[in-house]
Homo-oligomer: A and B are copies of this chain.
């Protein structure tokens, strides 16, 4: 309990006994976790492997672990920010929770660099679970897979992650050969289990029953750490395999939306039919436990841009009409500014603009992102 603070490089101070870490924005979350693993702690937010802490804060990112651990904003204890006028603020000291004044951590996290430069942060850490497992099952349809996933969440089985990949995505992974095995070309659920040894066993048995009740295959489970990585690799390689599929000169449109849990099976099904009827080549992948869903489309920019744009726009409008959001974790940037008003309304948007103006009156920070003046 009295482990002294440690450093993993000159910029990163870990206080193991308070379960937190001070890091700077260019630190990779994966390198950070590797460096501190002997402490028994880890940072549980897991976006794409190349992500750095600064970008993770800017977009309020999440990832596969969000269903268990929440999103980036839930793990920020304080932020040191250089403001547009050159002043430097630190949003808080180092309490794990506080009700002192406005929640500036929650405001700067997800503001996409429009309010200031984050130069340092203190992040909460979590305990590395005693035991973990990875599970995979296939389903005849996306709806059956989505139903199984939502039932698992709805019944409160504390899975570490539950991810849905469609048949196209599984086929692409096979074609690119990134994972050292062949997968069935079927809608597939990937699970992470984590907790105590006994707890993980218990969760696996509960999931097995629900998978079987929803026309799923036998649940394949791996409890050996090294073999888990292999089994999870299909999920990990999903996006990269799609990128590798790209023909020379072709482009990729990758996007995400999120909807209330009960609407996810509908959204997935309609979006899939839409892709097919437009004759587009796209794969689907979702963090089902959060109602968050990604579509990646490969296309010939010269011929198909308008078609792809229509397909994505229709999906985003559909998600918003289902009471969802145009982005669950990627952020607005330039590409989704046009949806902001439909999603949050002119009133909320004017409050956001007012906040921006109060902090950055000359619109200096990342101008043109999220919304216009």
Name A's B-contacting residues (CB within 8 A). 1-2, 15, 17-20, 40, 59-62, 66, 70-71, 73-74, 83, 87-107, 109-111, 126-130, 147, 150-151, 153-158, 195-199, 201-203, 206, 258-263, 290-292, 320, 323-332, 336, 339-340, 343-345, 347-349, 351-352, 354-359, 370-371
A193 to B102, CA, bound (A): 32
Residues of B within 8 A of A150 (CB): 1, 17
Are the C-beta atoms of A93 and B324 separated by less than 8 Å? yes
Name which residue of chain B comes closest to A71, CB basis. Answer: B97
**B98, B147, B291, B358: the one within 8 Å of A96 (CB):** B291
- How many angstroms between the C-alpha atoms of A325 and B104 in the bound complex? 14
CB <8 Å contact, A292 and B97: yes
Decide: B62 and A97 in contact? CB cutoff 8 A: yes
For residue A282, give the distance in angstroms from its CB to the closest CB of chain B.
Answer: 21
Q: How far is the CA of A370 from the CA of B98 in the complex (A)?
A: 13
Q: Are A355 and B352 in contact (CB under 8 A)?
A: no
How many copies altogether?
A: 2
Which chain B residues border A349 with CB–CB below 8 Å?
Answer: 101
Within 8 Å by CB of A95, from B107, B328, B330, B345, lies B328
Q: Residues of B contacting A151 with CB < 8 Å?
A: 1
- Whether A95 and B154, one on each chain, are in contact in the complex, defined by CB atoms closer than 8 angstroms, is no
**Distance (Å) between the CB of A126 and the closest chain B CB?**
7
Contact of A94 with B1 in the complex, beta carbons under 8 Å: no
Residues of B within 8 A of A40 (CB): 155-156
**A-B pairs with beta carbons under 8 Å apart, 6 shown:** A19-B153, A74-B74, A96-B290, A97-B325, A99-B110, A99-B329
Query: Which listed residue (B66, B109, B154, B357) contacts A127, Cβ 8 A?
Result: B154
Determine whether the beta carbon of A206 is less than 8 Å from that of B202: no
Q: In the complex the two chains form, is B103's CB within 8 Å of A110's CB?
A: yes
Query: Given contacts A260-B96, A325-B92, are A332 and B203 in contact (CB under 8 A)?
Result: no
Which chain B positions have C-beta within 8 A of A203? 196
C-alpha gap A17/B265 in the complex (Å): 12
CB proximity of A373 to chain B, nearest CB, Å: 14
The chain B residue sitting closest to A343, CB to CB, is B100
User: Shortest distance in angstroms between A149's beta carbon and chain B's nearest beta carbon?
Assistant: 11
Q: Which residues of B contact A348 (CB under 8 A)?
A: 89-92, 101, 104
| Further contacts, 18 of them, CB under 8 A, given A18-B261, A99-B329 | A15-B262, A17-B262, A18-B260, A62-B97, A88-B347, A94-B324, A97-B329, A100-B325, A100-B332, A101-B344, A102-B110, A102-B370, A103-B106, A104-B351, A196-B203, A199-B199, A199-B202, A355-B359
